[in-house]
Chain A
């Protein structure tokens, strides 16, 4: 398996035990933070942004450190970046028909209801 070893050596050594533990603690703290934000701030705009930012942060940590992406980035960015772009793009393009249309419709219905004095 000579070329397998060759390929492995070409890869970076990777994180050590302490790094893994540190990331684990950060993930637990993040989870707790999200839970508490929801508990004390309820379901509103403030808690939404905190919670989603924490989620993105946690996912990034897992991907970069646990999944070794930080060290394999040079070999993998060609597939990770396009798929991220595509994923975000798909959701954005779905917005007008599935979200904005309904908001517009509801606004119209509300103004119609107001003007007829319901």
Chain B
């Protein structure tokens, strides 16, 4: 049973003892915010990891980077850009800590520039996805049934476009031939055969192999001859891939953009002469956020591009 104990009235210095941990409110709050962000990206990345490891099989595999126009070295370059920006932002904090305000502002400016480079490269990557229609809900997979018929019609329209606007393509002969074979009623070839003609026998996935193939080992697919043509082809789990890719990199890019907004605010403060050594905590907290964004990309890059 609890006794009503009177605790000693604290001696003068003790009653004014500070409660709490020796961490500024802002820093504690930023770490708590990062905790919520960790859970956010864990859920997002977790969804990707388990979907990717769950349903695909050997016959019907998860798309390779090549299938979806993902270029590894561009991702690696972006990783390098973010790493540099992490360095510059921590050096900005270090500069302020050593009372060099001008150098700190310079480093923040470089960080902002690097962040912009990251987003520009990302925009370039997204553009290649848009151009090839690698978008959620727009990718053809599963060529049986109604999907297959849609696929053939779509390809026929694309072939017509190529004939009209890219007559000098290396693969123009194959293009014309395929269009003829498909025919006016789109039923000259099965969807899987059309697909094989486009990607070539070496790149066809097991689940997309046509029952009767007219191509031999030495034949080349249209896209093997001229990879720049805009022709759709079956990408098993392509829609799932695109869904995950755009969700993950999209939210990461939004977070990068948020960081850039803060850097811009800091630079505006500096431009108006209001920035000084007393902003050290603010730079530290911004740096914490930015490092977190970098850590997320450190995981996103291998998970999406490499493994």
Interface of A toward B, CB cutoff 8 Å: 3-4, 6-8, 10-11, 14, 16-17, 20-21, 23-24, 27-28, 31-32, 34-35, 37-39, 43, 47-48, 51-52, 54-55, 58-59, 62-63, 66-68, 72, 75-76, 79-80, 83-84, 86-87, 90-91, 94-95, 98-99, 101-103, 106
Contacts and interface: CB of A to CB of B under 8 A. Distances in A.
Given A11-B22, A20-B91, A66-B86, A94 B287 contact: no
A54 B49 CA distance: 18
Interface string B231-265: 00000000000000000000000000000000000
A47 B50 contact: no
Contact of B79 (A31, A52, A72, A84): A31
Interface stretch (B155-163, B175-183, B203-211, B288-296): B288-296
A24 B294 CA distance: 12
Interface stretch (B2-10, B53-61, B132-140, B186-194): B53-61
Contact of B50 (A39, A59, A98): A98
B291 A35 contact: no
22 contacts: A7-B24, A11-B23, A17-B91, A20-B87, A24-B86, A24-B87, A34-B76, A35-B306, A39-B72, A43-B306, A51-B307, A59-B299, A62-B291, A66-B291, A67-B292, A72-B23, A75-B22, A79-B35, A84-B38, A87-B38, A99-B50, A103-B54
Interface in B40-94: 42-43, 46, 49-51, 53-55, 57, 64, 72-73, 76, 79-80, 83-84, 86-87, 90-91, 94
